[in-house]
Amino acid sequence: DTEVTQTPKHLVMGMTNKKSLKCEQHMGHRAMYWYKQKAKKPPELMFVYSYEKLSINESVPSRFSPECPNSSLLNLHLHALQPEDSALYLCASSHPTGRAGDTGELFFGEGSRLTVL
Amino acid sequence: GQQLNQSPQSMFIQEGEDVSMNCTSSSIFNTWLWYKQDPGEGPVLLIALYKAGELTSNGRLTAQFGITRKDSFLNISASIPSDVGIYFCAGPNTGNQFYFGTGTSLTVIP
């Protein structure tokens, strides 16, 4: 069973809606990630939080707004999305890479399938 | 961002056959990761490799960390129908970025 939990598993929204994706991990990891994945393609990095601070934003449109309320939780707020934003959104966590003794393992949640109509 | 080259892109094999796939990079990595992803699900970590030349097994899966630290290999022995899925390799840098391979899609024919 995955130790990274994502909700909801499926989400359908209109282009004017506001919704949120949620992620929780209890592995003591201090780096958390949002990825976007299209069918049969590798995950594409969107955002990275390290020690609850946004450390990487891969030029993601402002209609996606991440939030890290504490070391276990990560949210992705969605507003005014476009149909091309339909994808599988993956949350992941790891120990911050580059630390002495870090094993560099990344653990994914089961994903949230988003459909924008 | 950097992308790792993974081959083959797809494989169609008979149940019971062995499978080999590999991943190459222009940069060295200190860790290599192998994932399996089922349709509509998140990638699941299969094997992690930490040392050049290391050979690690997980059941019917065996992965190797290349000596040059620029490649890695995954073998699956005696394939079964539940091995179907997309396999990704990945490696981290020191800045919380993980680079992913292009994926190998495996189909097992009963």
Average pLDDT, 10 consecutive residues per value, chain B (110 residues): 87 97 94 95 96 95 96 98 97 88 96
Rounded CA-CA distance B82/B38 in Å is 9
Rounded CA-CA distance A47/A34 in Å is 5
- Shortest Cα distance from B85 to chain A (angstroms)? 10
Rounded CA-CA distance A96/A39 in Å is 28
pLDDT score recorded for residue A96: 81
Q: Which residues of A touch B33 (CB under 8 A)?
A: 104-106
Q: Which residues of B touch A55 (CB under 8 A)?
A: 95-96
In this structure, the strands spanning A10-13 and A112-116 are parallel
